[in-house]
């Protein structure tokens, strides 16, 4: 399979997977035009769309794409039904496309119905897990997002995290401000600064790598708890995550 990211809107990525015959899967098409251009230039034939949640920057292109390709299967959580999802899926369901079977994982937090799709090594996680960060809590609670992170963190380290926004630089800037003496974060921040200065793409990233540089996956870290002034022993397990998200919101 060939994995491609299509830049869209301000900082979105629309992900595609295609086989050697040119059949193609599309993930979270926030707009149609760049997808149509990519299909035409490569001679690809889309067969399905996977939607992670209902926000328009992930669903805005569905209607037009379905007009161009009427036989498209469109999978998504219940909250995307009004945005064009034709087959509603939820936790534990399986979606088979292009010979790949994706497991549907309910990952609420950013929205209440948000889902992710996993078929080794690909993880399409929308606005849940970002490189170096996590999605904003528009509808869910910190505890829900923490639980969603724990689900995703159970996947193999070689998992390719295909998230939907180019937020890595801002996330690493925040992480470096919280733990300025952490050598892994410091080195990664400099690497990402150099890459983005040349307009390079920072995604996909591997889950094993995220475990070292993403503070939202390091909430048991004693140094992080101290930096956030979180009680090391008495707080609920998701409290550090909540404080970290509050600080990122205000950063």
Catalytic residue status for 234: no
Cα dihedral: 40, 45, 47, 53 (round 10): -20
110 in catalytic set: yes
Catalytic site residue from 28, 54, 58, 114: 58
The number of beta carbons lying within 10 Å of the beta carbon of residue 222 is: 9
Q: What is the pLDDT of residues 10-50, one digit of tens each?
A: 999 999 999 999 999 999 999 999 999 999 999 999 999 99
Q: Which of 101, 144, 133 is nearest to 120 (CA)?
A: 101
The total number of residues written for the chain in this structure: 251
Report pLDDT for 111: 98
pLDDT at 217: 97
Q: Is 54 a catalytic residue?
A: no
**Can you tell me the distance from the alpha carbon of 28 to that of 86, in angstroms, rounded to the nearest whole number?**
14
Lowest mean pLDDT among 4-13, 144-153, 203-212, 231-240: 231-240
How many CA atoms within 13 Å lie on the side-chain side of 74?
26
Q: What phi and psi values does residue 213 have, to the nearest 5 degrees?
A: -115, -10
- Of these residues, 54, 106, 114, 165, which one is catalytic? 165
Told to judge if 57 belongs to the known catalytic residues of this protein, a careful annotator would answer yes
Q: Which of 55, 106, 147, 182 is catalytic?
A: 55
Whether the predicted pLDDT of 235 surpasses 80: no
The active-site residue, picked from 28, 127, 147, 182, is: 127
19 is catalytic: no
Average per-residue pLDDT for the chain: 96
In the set 53, 54, 106, 114, the catalytic residue is 53
- With 90 as the cut, is the pLDDT of residue 232 above it? no
């Amino acid at each position: 399979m060939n994995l491609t990211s299509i830049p869209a809107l301000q900082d979105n990525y629309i992900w595609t997977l295609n086989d050697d015959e040119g059949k193609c899967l599309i993930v979270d098409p926030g707009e149609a035009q760049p997808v149509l251009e990519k299909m035409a230039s490569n001679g690809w034939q889309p067969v399905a769309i996977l939607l992670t949640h209902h926000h328009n920057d992930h669903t805005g292109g569905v209607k037009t794409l379905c007009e161009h390709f009427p036989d498209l299967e469109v999978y998504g959580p219940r909250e995307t039904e009004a945005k064009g999802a034709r087959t509603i899926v939820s936790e534990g369901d399986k979606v088979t496309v292009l010979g790949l079977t994706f497991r549907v994982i309910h990952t609420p937090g950013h929205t209440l119905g948000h889902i992710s799709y996993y078929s080794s090594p690909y993880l399409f996680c929308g606005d849940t897990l970002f490189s170096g960060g996590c999605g904003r809590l528009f509808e869910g609670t910190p505890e829900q997002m923490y639980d969603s992170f724990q689900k995703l963190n159970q996947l193999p380290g070689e998992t390719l995290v295909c998230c939907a926004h180019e937020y890595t630089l801002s996330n690493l800037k925040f992480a470096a401000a919280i733990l300025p003496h952490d050598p892994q974060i410091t080195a990664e921040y400099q690497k990402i600064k150099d890459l983005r200065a040349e307009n390079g793409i920072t995604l996909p990233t591997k889950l094993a790598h995220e475990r070292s540089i993403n503070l939202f996956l390091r909430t048991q870290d004693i140094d992080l708890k101290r930096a956030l002034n979180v009680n090391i022993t008495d707080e609920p397990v998701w409290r550090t995550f909540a404080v970290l998200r509050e600080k990122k919101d205000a950063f």
